[in-house]
Structure 1
Amino acid sequence: MSAAPDLTAPALVAQLRERIGALEGAPARTPLPTYDAFAPLIQLRAGGTYVVDAASVALALVAGASAGGEWVGVLGWPDLGAEAAHDLGADLSRVVLVPDPGGLWLEAAAALIDVVRLVVLRPAGPVDPKSVAVLDARLRKRSAALVVWGEWPRCEARLSLERVSWTGPGRGSGRLAQRRAEIAVRRGGAPPARGGWVVSGGVVS
Structure 2
Amino acid sequence: MSAPVALDPTRPVLDQLRERVSALEGAPARLPLPTHPAVASVLGLRAGGAYGVDSASLALALAAGASQAGEWVGFAGWGDFGAEAAEELGVDLGRTVLVPEPGEHWREVTAALVDVLRVVVLRPPLAVDAKSAGRIEARLRTRSAALVVWGEWPRCDARLSLEQVRWTGPDQGRGVLRQRRATLAVRRGTAPAVRADVLFPGERSALELVAPVEHERRVTRPARWATAAAAAGAVG
TM-score range, shorter chain: 0.7 to 0.9
Range moving further from structure 2, 163-172 or 40-49: 163-172
User: What does 1:136-175 correspond to in 2, within 5 Å?
Assistant: 136-175=137-176
Structure with higher RCO (Cα < 8 A, 6+ apart): 1
Alignment of 1:174-185 (within 5 A): 174-185=175-186
Q: Secondary structure at the match of 2:104?
A: helix
**Deviation per residue, 1:161-195 (Å, 9 max, x gap):** 11100111223322211011111000011111111
TM-score, normalising length: structure 1: 0.83
Structure 2: distance between partners of 1:181 and 1:54? 12
Please report the TM-score for the alignment, with normalisation by the length of structure 2.
0.73
**Which amino acid in structure 2 is aligned with residue 156 of structure 1?**
D
RMSD over aligned Cα atoms: 1.6
1:89 pairs with 2:90: yes
Q: Secondary structure at the match of 1:66?
A: helix
What is the match of residue 42 of structure 1?
43
2:47–2:140 CA contact under 8 A, matched in 1: yes
Q: Is the 8 A contact 1:54 1:160 kept in 2?
A: yes
For 1:182 and 1:191, locate their aligned partners in 2 and report how far apart those are by CA, in whole Å: 15
Runs of 4+ in 1 over 4 A off after TM superposition: none
Tell me whether 155-164 or 124-133 shows the greater mean CA deviation: 124-133
CA distance in 1, matches of 2:66, 2:79: 20
Alignment of 1:186-201 (within 5 A): 186-200=187-201, 201=205
Shift of 1:204: 4.1
Q: How many residues align?
A: 179
Rounded Cα–Cα distance in structure 2 between residues aligned with 1:29 and 1:77: 27
Moved more, 91-100 or 169-178: 169-178
C-alpha distance 28-78 of structure 1, shift in aligned 2 (>3 A):
farther
Determine the C-alpha separation between the residues in 2 that align with 1:129 and 1:60. Answer: 26
C-alpha contact (below 8 Å) 1:74/1:99 kept by paired residues? yes
**Does structure 1 conserve the Cα–Cα contact (< 8 Å) formed by 2:30 and 2:46?**
no
Identity score, percent? 63
Q: Report the alpha carbon displacement of residue 29 of structure 1 after superposing the two structures with TM.
A: 8.5
Give the conservation status (yes or no) of the 8 Å contact 2:30–2:48.
no
Distance 1:40 1:123 in 2: 28
Q: CA deviation at 1:132?
A: 0.8
Match of 2:213 in 1: none
For residue 183 of structure 2, give the secondary structure of its aligned residue in structure 1. Answer: strand
Q: Given residue 197 of structure 2, which amino acid in structure 1 is its aligned partner?
A: G
Q: Are 1:180 and 1:204, in contact at CA under 8 Å, matched by a contact in 2? A: no
Counterparts of 1:94 and 1:30, CA distance in 2: 21
1:47-62 alignment runs, 5 A limit: 47-62=48-63
Structure 1 residue 107: Cα displacement: 0.7
Residue 33 (structure 1) aligned with residue 34 (structure 2):
yes
**C-alpha distance in 2 between matches for 1:28 and 1:177:** 42
Q: Which runs of 5+ in 2 are unaligned?
A: 1-27, 211-236
Which of these two proteins has the greater Rg computed from alpha carbons?
2
Q: Distance in 2 between matches of 1:72 and 1:80?
A: 14
The structural deviation recorded for 1:198 is 1.4
SS at match of 1:139: helix
In 2, the alpha carbon distance for the partners of 1:62 and 1:178 equals 21
List gaps (5 residues or longer) in structure 1: 1-26
Tell me, what secondary structure is at the counterpart of 2:152? coil
1:64 aligns with 2:73: no
